[in-house]
Amino acid sequence: MKRAALIIFLIVLVDQILKFWIKTNMMLQENIPMIGDWFNIYFIENKGMAFGLEIEGTYGKLFLSLFRIFALGLIGWYLRSLILTKHSKWIITGMCLVFAGALGNIIDSTFYGILFSASTTKTVAEFLPAVGYETLFHGNVVDMFYFPIIKGYFPEWLPWVGGDFFIFFRPIFNIADASISVGVVLAIISHGGFFEKKVKPESSDEELRLSENGISSDIKGEITNQEQ
């Protein structure tokens, strides 16, 4: 339980420290190249789910925030049951990553609207302003990792998208999003037994003795049947 709590705490801490720095030091849509043209810190905010997906409207945002909290409760319950039943450390680690990522984004959507002023393309947000940019449960999630690794045009012969410009990888995400994605993959792989060691069944003393004498267990069975 302590190990799980430590994993969750560290991921949420790093996620929130980076988001706080982004909010209070960068203007909206500001870009900081990190490694060539394919890794950038590019500040955007989204009102919805991971990788910029969102549900439109005020009530849609409220529903999404409340649904996230409900889902977090279910994930926490499932994680606790895995720990108590002493499941594989890999699936527990995966669910810890999912829980931490979900919690990190919930903090944004629940509290950032009242903790910060609005980020714009001309101004940096202020922490603890007299009035926040939104109400409780209506905050925006801070995203910053942008990896436009491949840029080019689709071949002309492709239907619908032929000749169109494309970027891979286009979605902009944060540490919480990455934690959820890695956690889901890890949980799925570990659930399928990928990390489990296959244990060879132990042979009985009688089978070992017969094997040493060059007699298989099948032959032993035939001899026993003949004697009967």
| pLDDT > 60? residue 227 | no
Amino acid identity, residue 72? L
Q: What mean pLDDT value characterizes the chain?
A: 86
- Mean pLDDT value of segment 31-42: 94
Distances (CA, A) of 105 to 13, 99, 101, 168: 12, 10, 6, 24
| pLDDT > 80? residue 17 | yes
> Taking Cα atoms as reference points, which of 171, 184, 186, 183 lies closest to residue 50?
171
Residue 33 β-bridge partners: 40
Round to whole Å and give the CA distance between 172 and 39: 11
**Active-site residue, selected from the candidate residues 37, 108, 177, 218:** 177
Burial class for 104, CB neighbours closer than 10 Å (0-12, 13-18, 19+):
buried
Q: Kindly state the tokens that stand for 10.
A: 């560290």
Determine what percent of the chain is predicted with pLDDT higher than 90.
67
Round to whole Å and give the CA distance between 123 and 69: 31
| pLDDT > 70? residue 223 | no
Cis peptide leading into residue 111 (ω within 30°): no
Q: Domain ranges in the chain? A: 2-197
Confidence label for 153 from pLDDT (cuts 50, 70 and 90): very high
Confidence label for 60 from pLDDT (cuts 50, 70 and 90): confident
User: Among this protein's residues, is 15 annotated catalytic?
Assistant: no
Q: Kindly state the tokens that stand for 51.
A: 């990788």
> Taking Cα atoms as reference points, which of 104, 132, 130, 105 lies closest to residue 116?
132
User: Among this protein's residues, is 205 annotated catalytic?
Assistant: no
**Active-site residue, selected from the candidate residues 15, 37, 108, 143:** 143
- Residue 173: in which H helix or E strand, if any? strand 172-173
Measured N-to-C along each axis, helices 89-115 and 175-191 cross at an angle, to the nearest 10 degrees, of 160
More confident residue, 149 or 211: 149
